[in-house]
Structure 1
Amino acid sequence: MTLTLGAITVDTTDPEPIAAWWAERFGAEIVATNDGWFVTLKGGGLPGFLSFQKVAAPTPGKNKIHLDVMTDGDLDAAAQELVAAGATLIEKRSAGDFGWVTLTDPQGNEFCVASGH
């Protein structure tokens, strides 16, 4: 048996606005809305599908899986741009020479951004 990753799916109480937010960040497009209960993005900077599924209540606590996104530009400028677009800064971090910034999207889902250089 061979498995392939079909999509990364994020639980949310309101899929369409958060899907639109991420579509704008990645330069992707919404390719399916399924009456607003399962919204899927493709294209732009995504390697495959990113979906947002409507749930009655968000899972409490920290994400067990999160997105790691890369910027080809200045890391601090990318983080500031994400914050200006509605993300919340959690912490700037580093391990040796590698640095990244942890943020949350407008619905509180944690993600990290790092420089691709």
Structure 2
Amino acid sequence: MSEPVITVGSVVINVLDYERQKAFWGAVLGAEPAQEFAPHFLWFRPQHEGGISVALQTVDEATEGTRRLHLDGSVPDIEAAKAKILELGGAVVADRETNGFRWCTLTDPEGNEFCISSDH
């Protein structure tokens, strides 16, 4: 087995109504926010030690089908991870930044989206 390129940190749900979804998922998961860049992003605390968090991401329009959920991963170096992912057959969708938080959206070889960041 090779070294991982990313460490999965969360499963992200695309939402339209940030406050409503924050209240809903907080109650459903019994979890408090771990980090928040309101009204764009929120990561809930994992339910147990070593667990993966659920995160919310505000989008402008409803996301179709299975694209409503995606993996978020952390990397020590975004540019090095992007290069490795491209070498493996992935593709870059966009480099993004908001409220001082930087991330990159990529796809696997079949077009499934996931994101990487070095800070969350």
Q: TM-score range by the shorter chain?
A: 0.3 to 0.5
TM-score, length-scaled by structure 2: 0.45
Return the TM-score normalized by structure 1. 0.46
